[in-house]
Structure 1
């Protein structure tokens, strides 16, 4: 009987720790998305998650560890937002990008802006850039040049056309609506692919 009670207690504690970690990650994700890296504090994340700073520290070790875990945690959400895009489908690709950027674009752009001052952000961005490049190569595979040099150049052009910076320029700096932004992104992508 004592063994069963101990096992139940350990299971309940483990489940509680998972829920606490999830709350912290959600609070951290919201904080990092809404503010520059230097403006996010462990105390602010702890308060938003309803835990102590020591609890945040126990789970993640540091602010850098918390950021890395939060980005990893939300990477699956980005994959879900982008969904499955049929190879070569420009409209589907633009819709996928718009879902992603409309939800996370401002936070992504702040991360880009902060990367020069924060080495942890630089390495995370390099990984994200590689993932975006692979996504473009996969989605537009049927419409890319057969030769490696031409293909690489086209993917680089597609990257420039679909980068979060392009979305930010259109939506925030130029004040384009979401519909206008979709149309411009489509036009840029089609223009690149027509050269192939």
Structure 2
């Protein structure tokens, strides 16, 4: 008699999951373009094609919404940035530039907003992830065995490959991507050579 009920329940569950994905994808898309503080729940709702009430029902709160959306972006960024083989400076610089060309401006704006208690943890995660990526990609090139010296060299490599370096080269100095990549490679290779 109720043969249609399991089908309807499954269809409802699938529709709810599709709505959930649209809401979090809309929030992640907005985070790619704007500061978190500049994004309203109405913007997310419009992007997902739902009401603000649906956004809150799905996410629970604005804080939770952006936390999940940020985690989604981190996973996407990690996949993008770990494409280079460890020790390959050219590939590392290319993947950083792929990332910075797509997200660099919003990352720089987010860094300017890091005094916001909701943004500060996001910035800290980003810094830690960047350092991990630098160590993963460029660590094999470091020959120094002393921990304090290795940490200093790693600090220099983190600075050389940072989003602010990209901003200086691309936005402030107006260098082409090719020129900017060559400059970042020069800095990284100079740091590595000076410690061999």
Provide the secondary structure at the position in 2 that maps to 1:120. Answer: coil
The equivalent of 2:192 in structure 1 is: 193
CA distance in 2, matches of 1:157, 1:104: 22
Shift of 1:37: 2.5
Provide the secondary structure at the position in 1 that maps to 2:104. Answer: helix
Shift of 1:171: 1.4
Q: For the Cα contact (< 8 Å) 2:82–2:133, is it kept in 1?
A: no
Q: For the Cα contact (< 8 Å) 1:105–1:168, is it kept in 2?
A: yes
The equivalent of 1:128 in structure 2 is: 126
Shift of 1:172: 1.6
List gaps (5 residues or longer) in structure 1: none
CA distance in 2, matches of 1:142, 1:29: 33
Q: For the Cα contact (< 8 Å) 1:33–1:106, is it kept in 2?
A: no
CA distance in 2, matches of 1:36, 1:86: 32
The equivalent of 1:32 in structure 2 is: 31
The correspondence of residues 18-167 of structure 1 with structure 2, limited to 5 A, is 18-116=17-115, 118-144=116-142, 145-167=144-166
C-alpha offsets along residues 63-119 of structure 1, whole Å, 9 cap, x if unaligned?
Answer: 222211111112221122224322211101001101111111112112111111x11
The equivalent of 1:169 in structure 2 is: 168
Give the TM-score normalised by the residue count of structure 1: 0.92
CA distance in 2, matches of 1:123, 1:76: 16
CA distance in 2, matches of 1:44, 1:176: 34
CA distance in 2, matches of 1:152, 1:7: 58
Shift of 1:7: 2.4
Q: CA RMSD in A?
A: 1.5
CA distance in 2, matches of 1:115, 1:86: 32
List gaps (5 residues or longer) in structure 2: none
